[in-house]
Amino acid sequence: MTMNSKLMVGNWKMNGSLAANASLLSEVLSGMGGVTCRSAVCVPAAYLAPSQSLLAGSALALGAQDVSAHDAGAYTGEVSATMLRDFAVRYAIVGHSERRQYHGESDAVVASKVQRALAVGITPIVCVGESQSEREAGQTEAVVKRQLAAVIHANGHCVSEIVLAYEPVWAIGTGLTATPEQAQAVHAVLRVQLQAATAHADRVSILYGGSMNAANAASLLALPDVDGGLIGGASLKAPEFLAMLKAASR
Ligand code: 13P
């Protein structure tokens, strides 16, 4: 268990519009009384600037959903860590399973992205997780350890500055949630691996992601090695997201 308060992060994925984002954020911000956990929303790159304005001065931090593995140059369509920094981005999701799956991001690419984010002071939220078939084949531990090992290899003891998210691929957007036992078991494995890499492993928040919602958040957040959540669908509904922020504030 880390010393920090819980961290709850909404991942909007490729959803929203200028108007929808403004109403979602205003509803969330107006309901944050009593929220003491750390919180953030990771918005599509196109909406960083307006989201920065809407969140200015609030406790809800701004995050991005990806970052380039490169510093600058001929990389059409990419957004660099330095550019994210221009919009006061605090967090960047790195290595989400949707990026690994649909955009072919390897463990090595993910590790480079983590380096770019850390170099400019953005906290990478590094996602790891096994597919359904990997779980059924008994490979869960091996897969998440391999994914984290690549990040440790490239970043050394600086790995203490990341946030880690365990997102079982079979639980993402499916309504299937890892049981508390399944989540705790993997989180504990990841914690031990971090402890072997850095003396400051307790600084690393390990988030759970995958169909987390207002109904199941409290039981997951009560686990000793679950330090918060990475929330997709349920973060698009202000009352539900707020209920989860409150569950993490107890
Ligand atoms: P859902 O909460 O929609 O399952 O998405 C989880 C996720 O992928 C967050 O990054």
List domains and CATH numbers for the chain: 7-247 (3.20.20.70)
First-to-last alpha carbon distance for the chain, in angstroms, is 15
11-50: pLDDT as tens digits: 999 999 999 999 999 999 999 999 999 999 999 999 999 9
* Per-residue pLDDT at 244: 98
- State the pLDDT at residue 2: 54
Spatial CA neighbour of 98 closest among 166, 208, 182, 172: 172
Q: What percentage of the chain has pLDDT greater than the value 90?
A: 96
Catalytically annotated residue among 78, 96, 153, 240 = 96
The active-site residue out of 105, 130, 167, 187 is: 167
Across 148-162, b (16+ Cβ under 10 Å) vs e yields bebbbebbeebbbbb
- Distance between CA 154 and CA 149 in Å, rounded? 9
Which are the contacts of 56, defined by CB distance < 8 A and separation ≥ 6?
A: none
Residue 1 pLDDT exceeds 80: no
Instruction: Answer whether 66 contacts ligand 1 (Cβ < 6 A).
Output: no
Q: Measured from the CA of 209, which atom of ligand 1 is nearest?
A: 6
Q: Closest residue (by CA) to atom 1 of ligand 1?
A: 232
| Whether the CB of 211 sits within 6 Å of ligand 1 | yes
In angstroms, the Cα distances linking 149 to 75, 128, 234, 241 are 27, 11, 30, 32
Those residues whose C-beta lies under 8 Å from the C-beta of residue 46, and which sit 6 or more positions away, are none
- Indicate the pLDDT class of residue 4, thresholds 50, 70 and 90: low
Q: How far is the CA of 72 from the centre of ligand 1 (A)?
A: 30
User: Which of 8, 131, 211, 220 is the pocket-test mutation for ligand 1 (most atoms within 8 Å of CB)?
Assistant: 211
| Residue 237 DSSP symbol | S
Residue 143 is inside which H or E element, if any? helix 140-155
Res. 66: pLDDT tops 90: yes
Active site residue 167: yes
Judge whether 98 counts as a catalytic residue.
no
C-alpha of residue 199 to centroid of ligand 1, in Å: 30
Give pLDDT tens digits for 144-173.
Answer: 999 999 999 999 999 999 999 999 999 998
Output the average pLDDT for the chain. Answer: 96
Q: How far is the CA of 73 from the centre of ligand 1 (A)?
A: 32
Q: Where are the beta strands (DSSP E) in 114-236?
A: 123-128, 163-166, 206-209, 228-231
